[in-house]
Structure 1
Amino acid sequence: MSSASPAPVVTPPAPPTWQWWYWVVLGLVALVGAALLALDPWLRQYLEKQVAEGTHGRYQLHITQLQTSLWHQSVYVRGVQLRTVGPATNDRAALPPVQLTLGHARLTGVGLWQLVQRGTVPIDSLVLDSLHIRLLGRLPAAKKSQPLYQRLPLHLEGIRLGYLSLRHVQTAYQPAPQTGVAWKQADFLARDILLSAAGAADSQRVGYAAAVTAHVRHLVASAAQHRLALRSVRFASEPGTLVIDSVVVRPQQPLSEVRSRNARVSLHLPRVSLTGLHTAALMRHQFRADTLLLLACDLDMTAPRVSPPPIHQLLAPWLDRVQLEHLLLANASARIRGVEERPRSQHIAVQGSHLRVDSVGAQDQQRVLYAQQWDVRTGVVMARLDPPFYQLACQSAHLATRGGLLEINNIRLRPLVSVVELSRRKHHQAPHVTVLIPQVRATAIQYAALTHQHCLIMQTLTIRQPRIQTRSDGRFALNPEHSVATPEALRHLGFTLDVRRINVQNGTLYTIYRAPQNAKPGQLTINRVSGTIENFSNDPHRMSAAHPAVVHATAWLQNRCQLQATLTANLLDPNGQHTITGTFSEGQLSMLNPMTVPTKQLLFRSGQVKHIHFCMQANRQRVTGPMWASYSDLKLTMLSQKGGADHKTLGSRLKTTLVNGLFLRDDNPRKGKLQVGHMTSARDLRVSVFTLWRQGIVSGMLNSAGVPAPLSKKLSEQQDKPVYK
């Protein structure tokens, strides 16, 4: 009998363990994904909330898009807006109104591991594009605080940013109604920024960066009552260059011909180039560079009422020291208003070497205006002299501190009013002078002594072919003040003057004098004037009676009679004592008629000078000395303004007969004996020493010709009676 076997029990297989972990991982990924999806909105809201709370509602931040990527270690931001929404209350009055927009920004390559460890976090790059900032009102005053690297978030040890770029930056900042700065577009780039203690201690970095470049276009600024406009500014810390194109400065008030409270400047500077700039030194408040080049600078300014302090004092709030190897200024022009002289110049070229602008450089006795060497060349230079009566100009000038050179070409001094107008406005006889000098050249000038000690010291001064014309009008009274054209005036010059040698080459002096009684002026010419002056000084160490100034001169009177003279004078003698010895060569006395006839109604009808020698002693009281005059056939004619065509009347004819018959000695020597004349004339301190010399010559000539000494003295001192008081 068979029996049925029981059916086998089938046990289902156990599910694999990996399926559980799959669901766990999948759940974690979903959770992380959800967290990441929530991170960006949370972070965006967090930043917006922090700005609102941190400014007590004064500012509002809005971010259109914020996207983070842990995989790419990056953050992307788009559509950032920061604006002022709340009023300025007491607790936020320091926060000025602001409008800020940022097109987009990207931060890449953030070192998350270093961020977790709070070490020095590496970041590959940060790029901000289309940043526009408008800020109205003054920024809060800077307060002393910890360095920036010590104020990093999360107490990070530091940040190392490989690349920072700001593109298409537009800024406007106006802290006050008349003060502000703005530019239309700018790009900034910085490489290898190490924001840490090591970066701060690195003296070769600029603001923690190894290299910085910037390009700013169409910059405008307003400050100190002026407006500044720059077309383009380019800066690169490596190799240290700064190039500015088209600098324009304009005053907010028009330039004035009278001094203003502050200087008003109108400036056009097409190009500024700075090379070899040590940018790291700027962080230590020092400016060091190789060459500063300024091209075609055009300066027009009104001088301030009070002269500004020295340059190093003006720069002191920002820079402790300025060191510049070379300063170059090419094709510049300048004009200064507000001063009576009204100086202006064209085609200026300046080269300065080894400048040090600080208190040490200012006091360095070997430097001139902070520099070890200056070389200055100009085109036309013009200024008023004794304003507003004279215009002084030169065609070109060259100054070089190395070697002490000064050369001025084609000097011209001309009066701006007539001789009558000049005397009328000065209320006395005033010399109406015109001067033409082809060249004045000085050598071995000690410019450092001039700058620091106010001493004008030079080796030689050469004046080539001067042409001087003087006009005067006797209808006006004499100047009541003492004349300064006298040797003793050098004592009161106010500064030390020391010229070892002055050379005058082939000069000409024209003298024109209008006497009160005759509309026709008298004329006298001294031609071919050449000579030297040795030891022209008011330095007590140079000048004394034992070492006087010595003048040797030769000239021709009316180009027909030669004059030779030697003058010696102690220029520090308060009494003005000096000695002149001289000779006149052969000549006709009629050559004096162009001066004596219109002014003294005296005609030399005949007279031949053979030789005249004199020795004159002069001082502040008188002139004395002997004269040996050899002449023949002397005949005079006395004229009258009331006469006919020949200016003769019965009275003048009688005077002529009496003078020729009773007083004048026709010939000297006479009967073999030379009669010695005596120069005697009193000094009028209102007139120049040249007038005193002329008085001495006249008195000596009259006495030699037989006029008694008292009368010759009186005639030499006689002044025309003025018509105008």
Structure 2
Amino acid sequence: MSASTTQVVSPPARPTWRWWYWAVLGVGALLGVAFLALDPWLRQYLEKQVAQSTHGRYQLHIAELHTSLWDQSLYVRGVQLRTVGPSITDTAALPPLQLRLGHARLTGVGLWQLLQRGTVPVDSLVLDSLHLRLQGKLPTARQSQPLHQRLPMRLQGLRLGYLALRHVRATYQPDSATAVGWKQATFSAQDILLSAAGAADSQRVGYAAAMQGQLFHLKAAAAQHRLALRRVWFASRPGTLVVDSVVVRPQQPLSEVRSRNARVALQLPRLLLSGLHTADLARHRFRADTLLLLACDLDMTAPRVPPPPIHRLLAPWFDRVQLEHLLLANASARIRGLEEQPRSQRIAVQGSQLRIDSVGAQDQQRVLYARQWDVRTGVVMARLDPPFYELACQSAHLATRGGLLEVNNLRLRPLVSVAELSRRKHHQAPHVTLLIPQLRATAVQYAALTNQHRLAMQTLTIRQPRVQTRSDGRFALNPAHSVATPEALRHLGFTLDIRRINVQNGTLYTIYRAPQNPKPGELTINRVSGTIDNFSNDPHRMSAAHPAVVHATAWLQNRCRLQATLRANLLDPNGRHSITGTFSEGQLSMLNPMTVPTKQLVFRSGLVHNIRFQLQADRQRVTGPMWANYSNLKLTILSQQGGADHKTLGSRLKTTLVNGLFLRDDNPRKGKLQVGNMTSARDLRVSVFTLWRQGIVSGMFNSAGVPALLSKKLSEQQDKPVYK
């Protein structure tokens, strides 16, 4: 064989792709082994980290943990965190804790951003069946940095698309007297941006673009009260909070005397808050459109020390509270511990533009923080001069816009008898029963009342008032000076300014029991109508040149018309005032229902044609002329020791002497009208109304022929009391 035909055969070459295949397969196998080992390692790592960071105080156990790099997700099940170690120095602030989590899923983790330590996106985090029990106080936060600056691995931020907590049950008891817990709750939040940009975004709430939650059957105990509510629902968009069935009960029974702290019993079927600006909450400001409270029933015992203003109570949580509208419907309230014992039903309140902070409290144009209030009530009751009187009305309406006040069926009734009232006060005391079908005030300056202690209004109209006064002459007079005098207005603790008071068709019943006669005397003044202008103690309104002026008309015993005009400088310390008046025609016998039981005096006959008088009064006396035109005046003096007709020989002799020697049968007599002089000393222990009566009586006696000194003495004569 020749060389030219000789051939060398090389072995066949193997394909290089096989090496890559086996390399990838080997790497995949290694990664698979790593992935299989990742879940146990991560579970053990988390459990170990919790034990180390709490120095063995807490123990974490995870029943199941699965990660998926392909899906960028994490799933855990059967998580338990509980307290196992002692409360040593380093962990003394860590309270006993029991936490159970049914399962949780984290999806859509941005691994590339995580490796770069940027803002890590996460699609969702869902926690289901979370049960938490915590005892003892929570540790005080040692770090003042915001949450986004405390992220692990020095991440720039975290953006979580969706966060949900479902079937959450929790109990927290920091001490033996305080606890809170609920049976069921859910919470969700969208687009949570934990970063500097998220913290600076004024439209976010706690880094979230929106959040909502619902809670059922919450119970709490704090400040010696227990709270229970059935449901709470909240949504940051559109800023709505709904609370159903709120019940607050004190741990100690409500008391009729003031307690150290307020005791509150409250039932609130529904609370609705709408238009809440949730972003303002992070700046410690509360701003909302409407707060509605339905059928609120409040019963409370007032504390011994009055609480501070509302804006100070809210200061630890909010620098400012703003509400466009506050609505309270069909409410009732009762306050115990106060002597007045106020209570009311069917309360409806509308408040507008409330600003609750120090600025709103000092705003002279606001009334109790609000620009406007409109209040309507059903029955309102309170004690007056407790415990002797009860004041009540059937309904009331107050509106700061326009300054309206309207009270319907206002009633004042004594709670004890006239004798019991005087006995317990140790002197004669007015026993007053009052009924006013309607009282209406206009142009009331409510802002001045709340901010300046100034009660000012344009008109006060009193329609058809009925007043009954009883007194018992068996008791001594009140040793203190009477406050029913013109000069007493100077000593009010506030400024009073009423431009006009209108009284329409009133009636006054006076009943007096003399010491020696159980049958009381009665006198009625009917059809009382009139006006009072410039009723004020404001020095800018009241002076001698601009006094209070009263014009009044009435009927005595519904049979004799009387008319009077009073002028008084209510700031005059001497109490100077004047009255001019007239009496029309009437039989003097109409006075017998009062004079017979109290003075044993009968007007047997006598016709008044007309009487005019000009009365001047001050703190010392009453004086002035009286022109009394009458005819056929005859008196009969009775005796307590007489027979059926109360007449004895002595009383018959007195009657003959008085009619024959003192009294003029007619005035004018022989064509000349005898002018009587009203002269009587003032007793500051009795009201100004008694002073006027004394003046009229002295003038009548003097006009009838009784000498001036005797007329004065008879007018000043007081019954001698039986009880001192």
TM range (shorter): over 0.9
Name the residue aligned to 1:306: 305
AA in 2 matched with 1:138: K
| Deviation readout 1:507-549 (Å, 9 max, x if unpaired) | 0000000001101000000000000000000000000000000
Q: Distance in 1 between matches of 2:297 and 2:319?
A: 29
Name the residue aligned to 1:571: 570
Name the residue aligned to 2:655: 656
**What is the Cα-based RMSD across aligned positions, in Å?**
1.3
Please state how far the C-alpha of 1:91 moved relative to its aligned partner: 1.6
Name the residue aligned to 1:505: 504
Please state how far the C-alpha of 1:18 moved relative to its aligned partner: 2.4
Name the residue aligned to 1:526: 525
SS of equivalent residue, structure 2 residue 365: coil
> Following superposition of structure 1 onto structure 2, how do residues 699-714 of structure 1 map, counting pairs within 5 Å?
699-714=698-713
Name the residue aligned to 1:484: 483
Please say if 1:598 is aligned against 2:597: yes
Identity %: 84
Please state how far the C-alpha of 1:144 moved relative to its aligned partner: 4.3
Please state how far the C-alpha of 1:11 moved relative to its aligned partner: 5.2
Please state how far the C-alpha of 1:227 moved relative to its aligned partner: 1.1
SS of equivalent residue, structure 1 residue 653: helix
Q: Distance in 1 between matches of 2:561 and 2:622?
A: 23
Please state how far the C-alpha of 1:150 moved relative to its aligned partner: 1.3
SS of equivalent residue, structure 1 residue 690: helix
Q: Distance in 2 between matches of 1:18 and 1:664?
A: 151
| Deviation readout 1:308-335 (Å, 9 max, x if unpaired) | 1111111111100011100000000000
AA in 2 matched with 1:380: V
Name the residue aligned to 1:179: 178
Q: Distance in 1 between matches of 2:125 and 2:61?
A: 20
Name the residue aligned to 1:26: 25
TM-score (structure 1 length as normaliser): 0.99
| Deviation readout 1:387-433 (Å, 9 max, x if unpaired) | 11111100000000000000000011111111111111111111111
| Deviation readout 1:613-669 (Å, 9 max, x if unpaired) | 000000110000110000000000000010000000000000001100111111000
Please say if 1:202 is aligned against 2:171: no
Name the residue aligned to 1:261: 260
Q: Distance in 1 between matches of 2:250 and 2:159?
A: 45
Q: Distance in 2 between matches of 1:241 and 1:25?
A: 57
Name the residue aligned to 1:647: 646
AA in 2 matched with 1:629: A
SS of equivalent residue, structure 1 residue 64: strand
Segment drifting more, 222-231 vs 272-281? 222-231
Please say if 1:611 is aligned against 2:630: no
Name the residue aligned to 1:683: 682
Name the residue aligned to 1:401: 400
Q: Distance in 2 between matches of 1:280 and 1:245?
A: 24
> Following superposition of structure 1 onto structure 2, how do residues 186-335 of structure 1 map, counting pairs within 5 Å?
186-335=185-334
SS of equivalent residue, structure 2 residue 231: strand
Count of aligned pairs between the two proteins = 723
AA in 1 matched with 2:440: R
SS of equivalent residue, structure 1 residue 460: strand
Please state how far the C-alpha of 1:90 moved relative to its aligned partner: 1.6
Q: Distance in 2 between matches of 1:9 and 1:713?
A: 168
AA in 1 matched with 2:374: D
Unaligned 5+ segments in structure 2 are: none
Q: Distance in 1 between matches of 2:241 and 2:8?
A: 94
> Following superposition of structure 1 onto structure 2, how do residues 6-155 of structure 1 map, counting pairs within 5 Å?
12-155=11-154
Q: Distance in 2 between matches of 1:554 and 1:482?
A: 29
Q: Distance in 2 between matches of 1:56 and 1:144?
A: 20
SS of equivalent residue, structure 1 residue 283: helix
Please state how far the C-alpha of 1:146 moved relative to its aligned partner: 1.7
SS of equivalent residue, structure 2 residue 332: strand
Name the residue aligned to 1:413: 412
Q: Distance in 2 between matches of 1:695 and 1:144?
A: 83
Please state how far the C-alpha of 1:16 moved relative to its aligned partner: 2.5
SS of equivalent residue, structure 2 residue 689: helix
Q: Distance in 2 between matches of 1:251 and 1:152?
A: 43
Please state how far the C-alpha of 1:9 moved relative to its aligned partner: 7.7
Q: Distance in 2 between matches of 1:225 and 1:713?
A: 67
Q: Distance in 2 between matches of 1:232 and 1:404?
A: 40
Name the residue aligned to 1:343: 342
Please state how far the C-alpha of 1:141 moved relative to its aligned partner: 1.6
SS of equivalent residue, structure 2 residue 130: strand
Segment drifting more, 134-143 vs 68-77? 134-143
SS of equivalent residue, structure 1 residue 480: coil
Q: Distance in 2 between matches of 1:464 and 1:138?
A: 62
AA in 1 matched with 2:702: N
Name the residue aligned to 2:461: 462
Q: Distance in 2 between matches of 1:147 and 1:295?
A: 39
AA in 2 matched with 1:724: Y
TM-score (structure 2 length as normaliser): 0.99
AA in 2 matched with 1:634: L
Please state how far the C-alpha of 1:24 moved relative to its aligned partner: 2.0
Q: Distance in 1 between matches of 2:138 and 2:367?
A: 41
Name the residue aligned to 1:383: 382
Q: Distance in 2 between matches of 1:245 and 1:394?
A: 32
Unaligned 5+ segments in structure 1 are: none
AA in 1 matched with 2:457: M
Q: Distance in 1 between matches of 2:322 and 2:240?
A: 15
Q: Distance in 1 between matches of 2:18 and 2:292?
A: 78
SS of equivalent residue, structure 2 residue 283: coil
Name the residue aligned to 2:352: 353
Name the residue aligned to 1:666: 665
Name the residue aligned to 1:423: 422
Q: Distance in 1 between matches of 2:690 and 2:411?
A: 25
Please state how far the C-alpha of 1:222 moved relative to its aligned partner: 1.3
AA in 2 matched with 1:511: T
Please say if 1:588 is aligned against 2:587: yes
| Deviation readout 1:475-527 (Å, 9 max, x if unpaired) | 01111110000000000011100000000000000000000110100000000
